[in-house]
Structure 1
Amino acid sequence: METASGFDRTMSDQPMRRYSNTRCHTEEVPSIPRENQMNLWDSKSLGPQERASTQPNQLENWKKRGRLISIIVASNIIIFGCTLVSGASFDGMNIHNNEVLIFLCILMLLSVQWMLFQLYFTFKYPSAVLYKDAHAGPIWMKAGLILFAAFTLVLDALKIGHYAGYNNCVSSVKLIFPLVEAVFVIVESCFLWVSCKHCVQIYHDITRCGLMFVLATNLALWMTAVTDESSHQTLELEKSLSGNDTTNTTLELRGESEFAEGCTCNSICQVFQTGYYYLYPLNIEYNLFAAPMVYIMWKNVGRLMDDTTFHQYHLRINFRKQCSFIGLTLGLAMLMTGLVVFTMYEIKKDHPEIKFHALTVFYIFQIVCLSLMSLGALAGSIIYRFDERVMDNRKNPSRTLDMALLLTASLGQYCISYYSIIAMVVISPKALLNILTLSYSLLLIVQHSIQNIFIIEGLHRQPPEDSHQGPISSPPINSENPVELICVRNNLPRHTFTNNPLSSISDDDEKPVTVQKELKGPANAHQTRRKILKEIYMFLLLANILFWIMPAFGARIRFDNELEVNFYGFSIWVIITNICLPFGIFYRMHAAASLLELFVVS
């Protein structure tokens, strides 16, 4: 007897027969393998919940296709922008700086239109954002974004003043570009401040492509700023080495100006130019702060998550509890001393009679600092071995991105250090400057490696308040019974104590006091470890800020010692440093941001 649904499932290898309810005839259906019969036929007899269970795979496949399309769009924009920017950096090519600025203006205007469109639809449709990622866009990252955005606006104002001082003999594109960039920075800062935690649930493909377009715009602006700053630094170095034999082959960089002949810049114009060159590092950091936040939004498009899955950690400023005296004192001492040494080095390096002394002092200071940072990170990693907090292996796009950026950015310093090590070994490391350069390069590799391990392992550890909960939520706790609360948080058996006050009185009255005394030792040890880790976090945070400031604002010690330049030649060494050094600068700022996060949630 056939089933009411009209399907014969008795023979898997014979043709299946579909029976009509109105006529007495059958029609042949091609033979279908048994593993596919459920997918094609039985889904019609499933209930709504069972049928919905077959949809996630289809949604996952479509999500991958949507991400692939957006990645292709972004990669083409980035590669085209990289080609255009690099081509405009050298003389002898028929690519002008104005063409690069026009391309960037188009990208920024399109990005502004899409961000306004996205904000409008997000507020218009309540169902557009049903979930938020608690880990995305922490308050310290938002504050850093706004700070660097403010400096970028100051830079744009200085650029306008600089180009306006040429008395209308420059292209209007150079005046329009800072205005467009200012609008883009304002809109993007507001957009990320409002939407960085959103898991958008409508227009998935349009949202993914739009976010990748904004990400590509930030990276194109970053490449342009890095190229401009590198060209400026290279021209200054070439001028200082012009009388030396170290300039074996000279790069023909286009430099700053493509102005018409006869254009002169007055004194105020020169002041504006000097000012905005010092603000380039802050503009670079703005784009590097915005790009990861946009990427996290892209990863969260269409993501379904429970608000209780992750605990959101707010930045609660409590100076009595949050402040770490020893780490703050040592970090500030290193920071202030480093700024003094850096300032004296910048003043003395241009005087040949005292240049060697300036290089020696600068090298020794950095070697001492790197040694202390390595010891601090190593001590923190050892403390992790005694930490009872469990590892948090849940899906977290923000943490995954932090790890990828740390490891990728550290490759820049690895490359420069290994190039320098090879040069020092071949040259024969007998002179004092050679020994200092070799030691400095080796310590950079060691410090980056230990610090990466320390930070990444810290990011994977649950905060103290969640460390004893594990993946399964804890059973209900009677908040009025402090002894029971202590037992649950320390994984002690709860059946020892009852919620019945009579039973607790009938037992030994000293029992709760005894338990509290027994728990006092482990609790104090745990608090001591937390305190030491907070001191290490604060010290490394300030130290990384110092090592960001020095190269970002002009310290080029690997050029000033002239050792690597003599070995590789000026043009080759310029290419190596201009490619690798921006990654090293970004690494320091990103490491500082990660250490701040660890300090706050610890």
Structure 2
Amino acid sequence: MHMIATNMAEWFLVLVEETRQDIYMSTKLQATCLKPNISRSSNEQFIGSKTFQITHNLYDHKLKCLKSDIMQTILFKAEPYLAPCTVEYNLLSVVILLLMWKNNCSNHNSDVSSSLQRQQFEGGQHQRGNLIYSHRSQSQFSVDCAQAHKGLFGGLLVLAVTVISLIMFFELVTHHDKKDAAILQVNVWEAFLFVAGTIAVMFCIAALRDVEFCKKKNDLELEHLLLLVTQWGVYMYFLFQIIGGFLMGTQGTGGIMRIITPLSALVQSSCQTVLILDAWGRRCKTEQQVRKKPGRQLVTFLLVVNIALWVVNRLKNNRSVSHPNQMDFYGVLAWNIITHVSMPLVVSYRFQSTVCFYEIWKRVYKYRNIKKKRESLTKI
């Protein structure tokens, strides 16, 4: 429990540091030119407050010190991209430690482990040659990439266009007259990714209907627990965007895309989580299913799409200034807190979804399951 509290404290420390730094950067931009909007008075009050002045003086002093140290300058610029890694590590550590704490005193686990050790000892005494052969076979690793090329090529095309869209965004956003166009084009592409992902999820669910469930224990998997925890961050981040975009009405830029993009993100992530939880326990049981591998093209496509969305969230959405309309509506302080609380969880969700899709891609279509079933039938 002490280690869990330590990881939570480290998570909170990174959150505070990143929020403070982002508040300083964003308010420094808005201090020169505040747009006339509904939160203008709150931003002006915050910029003139004593809290902001202390933060302003602290970072001005820090930037002066960085001019004489090359490595500190590099670390300071890389910090926004490295901080989410710390949050992901702390989240993973907390979940693993909780599961260890839960299963630490379980008599069932000890009984199972002792029986396995006894079986291995007896097998080593009577069938030593077979035991050595089984250990050697466990070290082998094979991957069957059949029925995955179309989804892979489609996913790589999406990933390439995503990189182009991000390059255009970072290039155009530096020009004041093209800033709105940069934000609009990347929002349109994000919406396309979410819609394409939702369609792929629906077809994948339909393709996996005839694949049988493999009955196992009902305990929640570590991957599923991480997926559900990070799903909360996805809901938090995009619901705040939908509320802000709806209440702003015609103010600001982006128009209807301020609502369509986050709404499609919520639908896509919800359907995707349902697909992962459903497909995780399915296994191909017939030779026809193993040969056709239903849904594998779509699983491959979704795997690469989640990598593309992970790149977008890591490079573009992890800073609060990437959504100026939301910052104008909620205010500098509130939007920075919302971003830095939820965005690391959004990044972790995409990473965890990629891991889950790889496990589904690898396990569901294994030929080994049928082979074992045949061997058991012949023995009977």
Unmatched 5+ residue regions in structure 1?
1-211, 468-521
2:23 is aligned with 1:234: yes
The answer on whether the counterparts of 1:233 and 1:554 sit within 8 Å (CA) in structure 2 is no
2:215 is aligned with 1:453: no
Name 1:547's counterpart in structure 2: 309
Q: Which amino acid aligns with 1:285?
A: E
Name 1:392's counterpart in structure 2: 215
Deviation at 1:577, TM superposition (A): 2.4
Select which of 440, 454, 479 maps to 2:261.
440
Counterparts of residues 111-510 of structure 1 (less than 5 Å): 212-242=1-31, 243-245=33-35, 246=40, 247-250=43-46, 252=51, 254=55, 263=65, 265-268=67-70, 269-303=72-106, 304-305=108-109, 306=112, 317-321=141-145, 324-387=148-211, 389-397=212-220, 399=221, 401-428=222-249, 433-459=254-280, 461-464=281-284
Name 2:355's counterpart in structure 1: 593
The answer on whether the counterparts of 1:281 and 1:553 sit within 8 Å (CA) in structure 2 is no
The answer on whether the counterparts of 1:249 and 1:570 sit within 8 Å (CA) in structure 2 is no
Name 1:576's counterpart in structure 2: 338
Task: Determine the C-alpha separation between the residues in 2 that align with 1:370 and 1:557.
Answer: 20
Task: Determine the C-alpha separation between the residues in 2 that align with 1:359 and 1:328.
Answer: 28
The answer on whether the counterparts of 2:195 and 2:268 sit within 8 Å (CA) in structure 1 is yes
Q: Which amino acid aligns with 2:256?
A: I
Deviation at 1:284, TM superposition (A): 2.8
Q: What's the Cα RMSD here?
A: 3.3
Question: 1:232-276, CA deviations, whole angstroms, 9 ceiling, x for partnerless residues?
Answer: 333222223332235344374647759799856415132343234
Pair 1:576–1:430, CA change in 2 (3 A): closer
The answer on whether the counterparts of 1:409 and 1:584 sit within 8 Å (CA) in structure 2 is yes
Deviation at 1:320, TM superposition (A): 4.5
Pair 1:213–1:535, CA change in 2 (3 A): farther
The answer on whether the counterparts of 1:346 and 1:555 sit within 8 Å (CA) in structure 2 is no
Task: Determine the C-alpha separation between the residues in 1 that align with 2:336 and 2:84.
Answer: 18
The answer on whether the counterparts of 2:87 and 2:344 sit within 8 Å (CA) in structure 1 is no
Deviation at 1:354, TM superposition (A): 1.0
Counterparts of residues 60-139 of structure 1 (less than 5 Å): none
Pair 1:556–1:321, CA change in 2 (3 A): closer
Task: Determine the C-alpha separation between the residues in 1 that align with 2:63 and 2:254.
Answer: 44
Task: Determine the C-alpha separation between the residues in 1 that align with 2:341 and 2:177.
Answer: 32
The answer on whether the counterparts of 1:226 and 1:582 sit within 8 Å (CA) in structure 2 is no
Q: Which amino acid aligns with 2:241?
A: S
Task: Determine the C-alpha separation between the residues in 2 that align with 1:261 and 1:570.
Answer: 21
Deviation at 1:370, TM superposition (A): 0.7
- SS, match of residue 317 in structure 2: coil
Using the TM superposition, name which of 343-352 and 418-427 deviates more.
418-427
Deviation at 1:449, TM superposition (A): 1.0
Q: Which amino acid aligns with 1:448?
A: S
Using the TM superposition, name which of 248-257 and 578-587 deviates more.
248-257
Task: Determine the C-alpha separation between the residues in 1 that align with 2:200 and 2:279.
Answer: 14
The answer on whether the counterparts of 1:328 and 1:539 sit within 8 Å (CA) in structure 2 is yes
Deviation at 1:554, TM superposition (A): 4.2
Pair 1:226–1:586, CA change in 2 (3 A): farther
Task: Determine the C-alpha separation between the residues in 2 that align with 1:348 and 1:330.
Answer: 27
Task: Determine the C-alpha separation between the residues in 1 that align with 2:312 and 2:295.
Answer: 26
Deviation at 1:525, TM superposition (A): 4.3
Larger radius of gyration: 1
Question: 1:483-522, CA deviations, whole angstroms, 9 ceiling, x for partnerless residues?
Answer: xxxxxxxxxxxxxxxxxxxxxxxxxxxxxxxxxxxxxxx6
- SS, match of residue 396 in structure 1: coil
Q: Which amino acid aligns with 2:291?
A: Q
Task: Determine the C-alpha separation between the residues in 2 that align with 1:349 and 1:261.
Answer: 23
Pair 1:533–1:569, CA change in 2 (3 A): same
Task: Determine the C-alpha separation between the residues in 2 that align with 1:258 and 1:323.
Answer: 56
Q: Which amino acid aligns with 1:289?
A: L
Pair 1:257–1:375, CA change in 2 (3 A): same
Higher-helix-fraction structure: 2
The alignment's TM-score, normalised by the length of structure 2, stands at 0.74
Pair 1:534–1:216, CA change in 2 (3 A): farther
Pair 1:357–1:317, CA change in 2 (3 A): farther
The alignment's TM-score, normalised by the length of structure 1, stands at 0.48
Question: 1:89-143, CA deviations, whole angstroms, 9 ceiling, x for partnerless residues?
Answer: xxxxxxxxxxxxxxxxxxxxxxxxxxxxxxxxxxxxxxxxxxxxxxxxxxxxxxx
Task: Determine the C-alpha separation between the residues in 1 that align with 2:181 and 2:64.
Answer: 42
- SS, match of residue 215 in structure 2: coil
Using the TM superposition, name which of 353-362 and 557-566 deviates more.
557-566
The answer on whether the counterparts of 1:248 and 1:570 sit within 8 Å (CA) in structure 2 is no
Task: Determine the C-alpha separation between the residues in 2 that align with 1:409 and 1:462.
Answer: 23
Task: Determine the C-alpha separation between the residues in 1 that align with 2:90 and 2:7.
Answer: 5
Task: Determine the C-alpha separation between the residues in 2 that align with 1:588 and 1:278.
Answer: 16
Name 1:94's counterpart in structure 2: none
Question: 1:382-439, CA deviations, whole angstroms, 9 ceiling, x for partnerless residues?
Answer: 223222x125351434x1x433432332222223322322333333359871211111
Task: Determine the C-alpha separation between the residues in 2 that align with 1:260 and 1:319.
Answer: 51
Q: Which amino acid aligns with 1:291?
A: V
Deviation at 1:562, TM superposition (A): 2.8
The answer on whether the counterparts of 1:331 and 1:543 sit within 8 Å (CA) in structure 2 is yes
2:287 is aligned with 1:523: yes
Deviation at 1:373, TM superposition (A): 0.7
Task: Determine the C-alpha separation between the residues in 2 that align with 1:285 and 1:374.
Answer: 25
The answer on whether the counterparts of 2:318 and 2:344 sit within 8 Å (CA) in structure 1 is no
Task: Determine the C-alpha separation between the residues in 2 that align with 1:446 and 1:340.
Answer: 25
Name 1:5's counterpart in structure 2: none
Task: Determine the C-alpha separation between the residues in 2 that align with 1:260 and 1:428.
Answer: 40
The answer on whether the counterparts of 1:249 and 1:569 sit within 8 Å (CA) in structure 2 is no
Task: Determine the C-alpha separation between the residues in 1 that align with 2:209 and 2:163.
Answer: 35
Task: Determine the C-alpha separation between the residues in 2 that align with 1:418 and 1:285.
Answer: 22
Pair 1:321–1:378, CA change in 2 (3 A): same
Task: Determine the C-alpha separation between the residues in 2 that align with 1:416 and 1:583.
Answer: 9
